[in-house]
Amino acid sequence: MKEFRTGYVSIIGRPNVGKSTLLNHLVEQKLSIVSRKPQTTRWNLLGIKTSTDSQIIFIDTPGLQKEPKLALNQQMNKAVSSTLNYIDIILFVVESLKWNELDDNVIELLKKSTSAQLFLVLNKVDKIADKSDLLSFIDTVVKETDFSEVIPVSATKGTGLEELESAIIKNLPFAPPLFPDDQVTDRSERFFAAEFIREKLMTRLSDELPYHLSITIEEFKEENNVLHIYANIWVERKGQKSIVIGKDGSVLKAVGREARKDLEVMFDKKVNLKTWVKVKKKWTDSTQALKQFGYFE
Ligand SMILES: Nc1nc2c(ncn2[C@@H]2O[C@H](COP(=O)(O)OP(=O)(O)OP(=O)(O)O)[C@@H](O)[C@H]2O)c(=O)[nH]1
Ligand SMILES: [Mg+2]
């Protein structure tokens, strides 16, 4: 019998390169929220993939930011660093052909803070018309750093994901599994309820407003086969509250409807979702508020 391999694989990169999309496609389930805006992910999230001879424990992390000022953003960066001392492999995700100084910032941190194996994952290759551009991009990037693997992928289209997965498994240590084979994440149902609501708000609201929102779940109970979920949406100012609610409650209704659909798929149950919008001044820069909203684990 082949020996079993198990290990932690952290997905790290600057905001918006497609880390969460990659996690979802690797575990073949929507766990992590995705949006077109940078800084969507705020917490580390495990996605566990178990097969007959391996268990890969992926960690999706927030996009690493350069010198963040607000307490919220500092906490997001800390979440990334907190994975660095126990992981086996890092998937350093970049957007193909779009290297910028934030990528330099990430690679600098990785080089100085971890001895884990470094895989370079070049995402969004579906956007490249001329593949020779990709080859010259790879040439430039690998000159600077010693990567154990360099793998072009498209997280949305699924290109390269099998190659990525087999390269990961080959490089994991021999060890028994750490989680039961039917467990796919470490997060609670409440966590997903809050995140799916936030995702719909991020998609629907423009500009800066999504960065001033946080969700708490006040009630989560099952009665007669229906899940009743009551959530607070926290904003920083009164003006933001009326935007989130929308004219005659239109925005909040649409968000509730969309989030409920996703939650019914995830929990395989009917969901009754109620939301309230509340103001907590300057919560993004208050350690106390961040604790109350669950940002410190
Ligand atoms: N064309 C294309 N778009 C992609 C691909 N992967 C992700 N995207 C898009 O890129 C955007 C950002 O994706 P996310 O998965 O949220 O990126 P992220 O790195 O997790 O972002 P943060 O959580 O903000 O750090 C979304 O609009 C995705 O649909 C890909 O392979 N091809
Ligand atoms: Mg993300």
Nearest CA to ligand 1 atom 9: 18
Q: Which of 137, 170, 203 is the last residue of a domain?
A: 170
* Per-residue pLDDT at 157 exceeds 80: yes
Residues 114 and 229 in one domain: no
CA of 215 to the centre of ligand 1 (A): 22
- Is residue 64 assigned to a domain? yes
- Is residue 184 assigned to a domain? no
> What ligand has the least distance to the C-alpha of 19?
1
- Is residue 181 assigned to a domain? no
Residues 10 and 80 in one domain: yes
- Please identify which residue in the block is written with the tokens 């509340």: 278
Tokens found for residue 43: 């917490």
Residues 156 and 30 in one domain: yes
Residues 120 and 193 in one domain: no
CA of 223 to the centre of ligand 2 (A): 33
Residues 91 and 35 in one domain: yes
Q: Which of 122, 140, 170 is the last residue of a domain?
A: 170
* Per-residue pLDDT at 1 exceeds 60: no
Task: Summarize pLDDT for 18-35 with one digit per residue, the tens.
Answer: 999 999 999 999 999 999
How many domains does the structure of the chain reveal? 2
Question: Which domain range does residue 210 map to?
Answer: 189-292
Q: Which of 140, 170, 200 is the last residue of a domain?
A: 170
Confidence of residue 70 (pLDDT cuts 50, 70, 90): very high
Residue among 245, 253, 254, 236 at smallest CA distance from 277: 245
Phi, psi of 235 (to 5 degrees): -125, 175
CA of 21 to the centre of ligand 1 (A): 6
Pairing state between β 226-235 and 270-279: parallel
Per-residue DSSP letters for 77-128? HHHHHTTTTT-SEEEEEEETT---HHHHHHHHHHHHH--SEEEEEEE-GGG-
Q: What residues contact 23, with CB distance under 8 A and at least 6 apart?
A: 11, 31, 32, 45, 47, 58, 60
CA of 35 to the centre of ligand 1 (A): 7
Q: Report the C-alpha gap between 151 and 123 in whole angstroms.
A: 9
Tokens found for residue 108: 């600098």
Instruction: Read off the CATH number of the domain in which 279 is found.
Output: 3.30.300.20
* Per-residue pLDDT at 266 exceeds 70: yes
pTM of the entire predicted model: 0.97
Which residue among 12, 14, 16, 97 is best mutated to probe the pocket of ligand 1, counting the most ligand atoms within 8 A of its Cβ? 16
